[in-house]
Amino acid sequence: MTTKDIIKPENLVYGKTKLLTDNVMHYCPGCSHGVIHKLIAEVIEEMGIQDRTVGVAPVGCAVFAYNYIDVDWQEAAHGRAPALATALKRLNPENVVFTYQGDGDLAAIGTAETIHACNRGENIVIFFVNNAIYGMTGGQMAPTTLEGMKTATCPYGRNTDIYGFPLKISELLAKLDGTCYVTRQSTHKTANIVRAKKAIRKAFENSMAGKGTSVVEFVSHCNTGWKMSPVQANAWMEEHMFAKYPLGDLKDTEKKHYEEPAK
Amino acid sequence: MAKFKGAVVVDTERCKGCGLCVAACPSKVLGLASQVNAKGYNYAEMVNEDACIGCASCGYVCPDACLSVYKVTL
């Protein structure tokens, strides 16, 4: 059987989902953002919620996310995506609202909005892409940068005496009563991508069931900022990032609901 | 003798030649072409067509969704 005989529509086992637009993504070759965009688009298509899903785009590399996933979008001010998502969800509770944020957006300038949205238990989904660096602005140190990791603004490695420690924001959010599902995933291998997709689906289902805030963190790489090839960056991430940011579910429960005091 | 036979179609103009699919392929089917596309990237192509088992690992890891995977059972 020749290759030409195999390439027929009925034999297709994997292809681009219709929810991803035909625009070529502006991300660097090999960027984890592409895989995460693709997974979110696939899950939305499988769940059939395209017409009532609203995404909130961040400031950062993913600022043009609205060009790539064919759902409704809002663009938030830097770090304020969870605040905007709160309004979108409260005003139209039938909508499925998610934010898509990087570590500079969610863990630095938007820490307050993130923590308070999670603490209020808003029924939104927060996708947090953690690549330990400010990718868009040229590879500066982020709160999540690993100890000793070299960036443009700490060329001798992050010194924790001066700059503090890597911020484990998912562990922080898992402690809050408002969150129902906090998980950390990765997209460097096929098996991890399949697990990440299941986590995305679960997060959307929690949001629709009104269980509270779901946070899905993706440990990802920035091969340009790290000055490596995409394959090397994946290997480096596996070796160094997972020690500080271990993969797996951090929390899986329902938020605590307010109980009326007995009269 | 493999029970499955697969084929990969690359959207060469969408491909950025990152090489993640080449590294992810368990059968070493894919490689980067010597030609470049309109953006100047060495796009991915099948270099060892007979070895493909249609597992779609390349499709999963592709950040630009430029791979379509086809599979038949022999």
- Give the residue extent of every domain in chain B: 4-73
One-letter identity of residue A137: T
A256 vs A58 pLDDT, higher one = A58
Residues of B in contact with A16 (CB under 8 A): 11, 65-66, 68
With beta carbons under 8 A apart, name residues in chain A contacting B49.
Answer: 3
pTM of structure: 0.94
The alpha carbon of residue A108 and the mean position of all alpha carbons in its chain are separated, in whole angstroms, by 15
Sorting pLDDT into bands at 50, 70 and 90, what band is A2? confident
Determine the average pLDDT of the residues in A225-238: 94
Mutate to test the interface with B, among A13, A17, A237 (most CBs of B within 10 A): A13
Average pLDDT estimate for A242-259 = 88
Q: Does B41 touch chain A (CB under 8 A)?
A: yes
Contact A229 B16 (CB under 8 A): no
Test B63 with A15 for CB contact under 8 angstroms: no
Residue A172 CA to chain centroid, in angstroms? Answer: 16
Model confidence pLDDT, tens digit, residues A46-96: 999 999 999 999 999 999 999 999 999 999 999 999 999 999 999 999 999
**Is any Cβ of chain A less than 8 angstroms from the Cβ of B32?**
no
Of A7, A31, A194, the CB nearest to B63: A31
Q: Which CATH number, 3.30.420.240, 3.40.50.300, 3.30.70.20, 3.40.50.80, labels domain B4-73?
A: 3.30.70.20
How many angstroms separate the CA of residue A53 from the nearest CA in chain B? 21
State whether CATH 3.40.640.10 applies to domain A27-252.
Answer: no
Interface confidence: ipTM more than 0.95: no
Find the mean pLDDT for residues A243-249.
Answer: 95
CB A5, CB B33: distance < 8 Å: no
Instruction: Determine whether the interchain pair A230/B20 forms a contact, defined as Cβ–Cβ distance below 8 Å.
Output: yes
How much is the pLDDT for B1? 56
Task: Read off the pLDDT of residues A173-222 as tens digits, 9 standing for 90 and up.
Answer: 999 999 999 999 999 999 999 999 999 999 999 999 999 999 999 999 99
**Residue A188: both structure tokens together:** 């460097």
Q: What is the mean pLDDT of chain B?
A: 92
Mean pLDDT, all residues of chain A: 93
